[in-house]
Amino acid sequence: MAEEMNKETAAEKKAPLKVSKDMTIGEIINVDVNLAGVLMGGGMYCIGCPASMGESLEEAAMVHGIDPDLLLERLNAYLAAQAQ
């Protein structure tokens, strides 16, 4: 029984974090500071702007003409890779 609990705990620890389009840029960076580089790589160069910290990923992407779904996919792919 204890062994089963340890396996579940290990599996839970390996579950990747995920971000969503309704999270603010600030919340996303708080998940993993390295996501700032993923955002910048996707064309979101305004992450240092105080206003961007309160904008949702979807809002910020739309302002910059970036596909929010593609950016979200890249962010979550990064997090999944880090969890392995």
pLDDT for res 15 = 54
User: What pLDDT digit, counting tens, does each position of 4-20 carry?
Assistant: 545 545 445 555 589 99
**pTM value?**
0.78
The domains of the chain are located at 17-83
- Assigned architecture for domain 17-83: Orthogonal Bundle (1.10)
pLDDT digits (tens, 9 = 90+) for 16-38: 589 999 999 999 999 999 999 99
Does the pLDDT value for residue 1 go beyond 80? Answer: no
Across the chain, mean pLDDT equals 84
- Burial (CB count <10 Å: 0-12, 13-18, 19+), residue 74: middle
